[in-house]
Amino acid sequence: MKTLSAIPIREPWIEMILVGYKTWEIRSKFTRKIGPVALIYAGTGLVVATATLAECIKLTPEIAYENASKMGFKVTRKDAKEMAGEHAWVLKDVIVLKKPVSYKHPSGAVTWVTLDEPTTKKVLAEAQRSK
């Protein structure tokens, strides 16, 4: 069985994603990990959702300014210039888990966490129940 990669996301951003207000997670790094992912509520030890990481877009000032609503905050033209070079991880098909799943956070994991096989199975089963 393939295991899920999970993205730890801090508050308030995770809350905005869970309610559908934010669909772009802004990161400093590019990723090639496109496909199903789990979303971790950073600092809680809980997987709270699944999603599809649909694409990774390198931000230009224009892209940042025109898509501010997808990032969950207001972006001025000055802010947009400062965001150039950042990356938008585009999240789609977010399924909020009705019952969050506990996981063991590996020491030093910041950008990605690879869930073990039993946790992956629990997350996928809960996502099916939560649809």
Q: Where are the domains of the chain?
A: 5-59+86-130
Give the pLDDT band (50/70/90) at residue 108: confident
- Res. 1: pLDDT tops 70: no
Tell me the per-residue pLDDT of 4-31, one tens digit each, with 9 for 90 and over. Answer: 999 999 999 999 999 999 999 999 999 9
**Cα–Cα dist 103/97, whole Å:** 14
Tell me the per-residue pLDDT of 35-57, one tens digit each, with 9 for 90 and over. Answer: 999 999 999 999 999 999 999 99
Distances 95 to 1, 26, 85, 126 between C-alpha atoms, Å: 21, 20, 29, 10
The stretch 50-69 carries a mean pLDDT of 97
Superfamily per CATH, domain 5-59+86-130? Hypothetical protein. (2.30.130.30)
Answer whether 39's CB lies under 8 Å from 17's CB: yes
